[in-house]
Amino acid sequence: MMAFEITKDLLDNITQYITIKNDTELSVVFSEMHHADIAEILDELSFDETLYIIRLLDSETTAEVLIDIDDDVREKVLKQLSAKEIAEEIDELDTDDAADIISELPEKRKQDVIQHVEDKEHAKEIVELLRYDEDSAGGLMAKELVKVNENWTIVRCVKEMRIQAEEVTRVHSIYVVGDNGELKGRLSLKDLLMASTTSKIADVYIPKVDFVVVTDEAEDVANVMRKYDLEAIPVVDELGILLGRITIDDIVDVIKEEAEKDYQLAAGITQDVEADDTIWELTRARLPWLFLGLIGGVGAFLIMEGFQESFKENAVLFFFTPLIAAMAGNVGVQSSAIIVQGLANDDVKGSINNRLIKEMLLAALNGLLLALVLFIFIWLYNGELLKAFAISVSLIVVIIIAGLIGTFIPLFLDKRGIDPAIATGPFITTSNDIFGILIYFWIAKMIIGF
């Protein structure tokens, strides 16, 4: 299957059809198109054109498109649709997607939409999902699944599965429950086909099944599904009662959102913002870490001011200050990035001391190799062996300290239950700049004797 591509001719044709209200041609254009591709096209159109297409498409397609379009566009579209129109789209969606859309509406409008949903059982399940935190397993799960009772015969099981499967878009697993709805295990389709028709499910099901509790955090659910390579995972309550399932498409969204958040934190952005947000929102998100950088710069200035008399006789030290600061910041960010990534993937195990020792040895090796190159350069450049030695030794120590700081801070924050992503970027860079310059001049003073 070739990747879909939006061309200028395609957009021009769609725009022209909308202008002359040629609904027939528009229907032909979108008839064989995947809802994700339609959403991509709508993001390129004006809002009025987008709304025109939304109202033209059938409810099933519109419902899927609403899930995929840009959040801001969806918010505007929902404001233009009546409660009855939204309810018609909601009827076509799985409960988790329906709950996601309804959760974006004002409280009064939520109630109006739910009252207009024709399938009352569907509406009841959506209301149940809205009670859970959006960043929990309950907030991610869908109620649609296929479950069978352990006491059923194979014949009854197949009959019930056919009925339930009509409400499920894709059957990932068949879950086995007890008489009270408690999760017992899972049923292999192969075992079901091979079993005697008079057998009971209790004789053939697999009791081992991975599951999550409804209150588990979304990130923990993602880690479990990634670790065990699952396409879907059942969700139970504190008593083990099967409530729903979470599928891989929802987890991909969680991983994407978490990666975007960590990337912004690493870049020194304290809030979840997008390029289209207002200047004020972008300023509030960026300013705190920029202010931290300003404080770091002032701190570096004060340190250098204390050594200003030595610059007259040792000007070469001043010229290498940016190099020392840059190396400290780079090493710190590299170290912290590896640790933050490992913590996110649950790959960092063992004691903090072992990690620090490993990072110290790694930093020492890198620092030694880089310092050797720097020593040769300075020696050949000005022939001052003592100053070349002082700057090179300083570089080794600065790199080691930067590596330890970049490793320790994310591990420390993680132990305290704080997102370690906030340790990267400006925070690590600024702290290492200050420590790096301080260590640089202190060691140089000890060796050269100024």
Determine phi and psi for 275, rounding to 5 degrees: -60, -30
Cβ atoms of 367 and 297 closer than 8 Å: no
| Greatest C-alpha distance within the chain | 97
- Looking at the structure, tell me whether residues 243 and 288 fall in a common domain: no
> When comparing pLDDT for 176 and 294, which is higher?
176
Q: Is residue 262 part of a domain?
A: no
- Looking at the structure, tell me whether residues 311 and 195 fall in a common domain: no
pLDDT at 120 over 60: yes
- Looking at the structure, tell me whether residues 113 and 243 fall in a common domain: no
Domain's final residue, options 205, 225, 247: 247
- Looking at the structure, tell me whether residues 197 and 296 fall in a common domain: no
d(CA 358, CA 159): 59
Minimal CA–CA distance to 94: which of 139, 147, 61, 142? Answer: 142
How does residue 421 score in pLDDT terms, banded at 50, 70 and 90?
A: low
In order of 34, 44, 66, 336, 388, the CA distances from 15 in angstroms are 19, 11, 20, 49, 68
Q: Which domain holds residue 291?
A: 279-448
The tokens describing 152, both together, are 């059923």
Cβ atoms of 313 and 450 closer than 8 Å: yes
Q: Is residue 92 part of a domain?
A: yes
DSSP state of 203: G
- Looking at the structure, tell me whether residues 119 and 163 fall in a common domain: no
In order of 314, 361, 385, 397, 447, the CA distances from 437 in angstroms are 15, 22, 21, 11, 16
- Looking at the structure, tell me whether residues 62 and 153 fall in a common domain: no
The tokens describing 341, both together, are 């990534």
Minimal CA–CA distance to 375: which of 366, 363, 385? Answer: 385
pLDDT at 207 over 90: yes
pLDDT for the residue numbered 19: 94
Number of structural domains (the chain) is 3
Amino acid sitting at position 173: S
Contacts of 352 (CB under 8 A, 6+ apart): 408, 411, 412, 415
d(CA 260, CA 254): 10
Region 386-399: mean pLDDT is 89
How does residue 80 score in pLDDT terms, banded at 50, 70 and 90?
A: very high
pLDDT at 183 over 80: yes
d(CA 233, CA 185): 11
pLDDT for the residue numbered 362: 87
d(CA 448, CA 386): 7
- Looking at the structure, tell me whether residues 342 and 431 fall in a common domain: yes
**CATH code (residue 55):** 1.25.60.10
- pTM value > 0.75: no
Q: What pLDDT digit, counting tens, does each position of 4-51 carry?
A: 788 899 899 999 999 999 999 999 999 888 888 999 999 899 999 999
Q: Is residue 26 part of a domain?
A: yes
Domain's final residue, options 202, 227, 247: 247
Is the dihedral angle over the CA atoms 405, 406, 412, 416 positive or is it negative?
positive
**CATH code (residue 404):** 1.10.357.20
Minimal CA–CA distance to 13: which of 33, 60, 58? Answer: 33
Contacts of 166 (CB under 8 A, 6+ apart): none
How many other β-carbons are positioned within 10 Å of the β-carbon of residue 115? 12
How does residue 141 score in pLDDT terms, banded at 50, 70 and 90?
A: very high
d(CA 229, CA 248): 10
User: Hey, is 147 helix, strand or coil?
Assistant: strand
Cβ atoms of 45 and 15 closer than 8 Å: yes
* 232 DSSP β-pair partners: 247
Q: Is residue 265 part of a domain?
A: no
- Looking at the structure, tell me whether residues 65 and 213 fall in a common domain: no
Q: What pLDDT digit, counting tens, does each position of 103-116 carry?
A: 989 989 999 999 99
Minimal CA–CA distance to 387: which of 304, 316, 306? Answer: 316
Q: Is residue 258 part of a domain?
A: no
In order of 103, 135, 266, the CA distances from 285 in angstroms are 25, 21, 13
Q: Is residue 255 part of a domain?
A: no
Q: Is residue 40 part of a domain?
A: yes
Q: Is residue 340 part of a domain?
A: yes
Minimal CA–CA distance to 76: which of 276, 252, 257, 254? Answer: 276
d(CA 176, CA 230): 17
**CATH code (residue 231):** 3.10.580.10
d(CA 400, CA 359): 8
pLDDT for the residue numbered 424: 64
- Looking at the structure, tell me whether residues 63 and 155 fall in a common domain: no
DSSP state of 182: B
Region 403-407: mean pLDDT is 86
The tokens describing 219, both together, are 């990130």
Contacts of 34 (CB under 8 A, 6+ apart): 4
Minimal CA–CA distance to 219: which of 241, 239, 246? Answer: 246
- Looking at the structure, tell me whether residues 27 and 153 fall in a common domain: no
